[in-house]
Amino acid sequence: MADKRIFVIDDEIETRNNLVHALSKFGFSCTAYDSGIVAIQELLESSQKGIGYHCFIIDPFLPDVDGWNLGKLFQKKYPDVPILFIPKFKNICLLKSPSYKATTGCMEKPLDFDLVARTLLEWNLQETTIKKTEHATTSDTDFISYVLIQISAPEQSKEIYEELSSIENIVSCEAVRGDLQIVLLIKTATKEKMKESLEKIEALQGIHIVSVLPVEKLSFGLALESFLQEYQQMLQEEEKQKETNKSYLLLDIEPALAKNIYVTLFFTDRVISCDCLNKGEKLIVKIYKSDTAKKDKILEKLKQMEGVLRLRQENIIELRSAQ
């Protein structure tokens, strides 16, 4: 059998070592990582060097990124490369497997390592992660800002909301509970257009602009930026718009850790968007909430995350419910 390369992501050192040892007896060559973020970076660097992998083995419950979501992106980006998920919880495979392709497997821990090897042999691995790279296009000319607004005339809130929504270049206009009341997202092609939009907002009666927060692009390199864009597009294609229970999280963070925090949040389940502000000192994150226990997972993760200094949550509401 020709040497087949397996890409393993699992934070449990014993599982990683046992996989590498067991699979090597069957002629497989394994590269293993304990971090999803590091694994993504190494995978992209390997591709640039012409090194491809024939199969992914992923623990979906990684400490830094959501392994299920990462697997979905690998499946979209490398549709002919199989994935084997190895979760640590009972019965989770029955719940998750139907949402993936037939070339995807799922085995719950503790693993039968010989069975893992035989499964890979049965898959007859041929294709690899090496393919013609087409980076997602980015626009360096886009100017994006969040505008945080208080309504000083609450009796006119619906009219104000409608006027704000109608202003050119407003991507989103959302009402929130709490002190801010309105969060705007503006996107323009030039600084002049951004200035014009802000002037139109300032001219409205009954509002007070709390702050204007330009979005700043973190530099990851073209390959990783393309990878992040593909993931964002995948989330948009999943059409979760039916979930209306959302909120904004405003984070004060350590600038030196901004990239790690950003990427971790980017691959966290139920995170819709994540933008960097104020030279890496702040992040604004939009999430899906839930009435179940899920609603606390992102908040608890952030409270324990290194580099997160302060956290503020603003729940998005239908404006008419605030009347």
Q: What's the total number of domains in the chain?
A: 3
Same domain for 11 and 97? yes
* In a domain? residue 137: no
Q: What span, in angstroms and rounded, lies between the C-alpha atoms of 166 and 178? A: 23
> Are 234 and 181 in the same domain?
no
Indicate whether 171 and 230 sit together in one domain.
Answer: no
Is 134 inside any structural domain? no
* CATH label of the domain that carries residue 23: 3.40.50.2300
Residue 238 belongs to what domain range? Answer: 222-322
Contacts of 123 (CB under 8 A, 6+ apart): 55, 82, 103
Q: Are residues 194 and 229 located together in one domain of the fold? A: no
- Are residues 242 and 315 both part of a single domain? yes
Summarised one tens digit per residue, pLDDT across range 285-304 is 999 876 555 556 788 888 88
Query: Quick check: is 183 in a domain?
Result: yes
User: Do residues 204 and 227 both lie within one domain?
Assistant: no
Residue 33: band (very low, low, confident or very high) from pLDDT cuts 50, 70, 90:
very high
Contact in structure between 127 and 80 (CB atoms under 8 Å): yes
The answer as to whether 132 is a domain residue is no
**DSSP for 72-131, written as a single string:** HHHHHHSTTS-EEE--SSTTHHHHHGGGS-TTEEE-PSSP-HHHHHHHHHHTT----S--
Whether the Cβ atoms of residue 184 and residue 151 lie closer than 8 Å to each other = no
Domain assignment of residue 136, yes or no: no
Same domain, 207 and 279: no
Asked if residue 99 has pLDDT above 60, the reply is no
pLDDT digits 0-9 by tens, 181-235: 899 999 999 999 999 999 999 999 999 999 999 999 888 888 888 888 888 878 7
Is the same domain home to 50 and 111? yes
> Residue 150 is part of a domain; what is its CATH number?
3.30.70.920
**pLDDT value at position 100?**
56
Looking at the structure, tell me whether residues 180 and 237 fall in a common domain.
no
Q: Which pTM was predicted? A: 0.80
Same domain flag for 303 and 244: yes
pLDDT confidence bin for 97, thresholds 50/70/90? low
Sequence-distant (6+) residues with CB within 8 A of 207 are 149, 150, 151, 152, 153, 160, 164, 182, 201
Q: Confirm whether 133 is domain-assigned.
A: no
| Predicted pLDDT of residue 322 | 44
What's residue 107's pLDDT? 93
Q: Are residues 229 and 182 in the same domain?
A: no
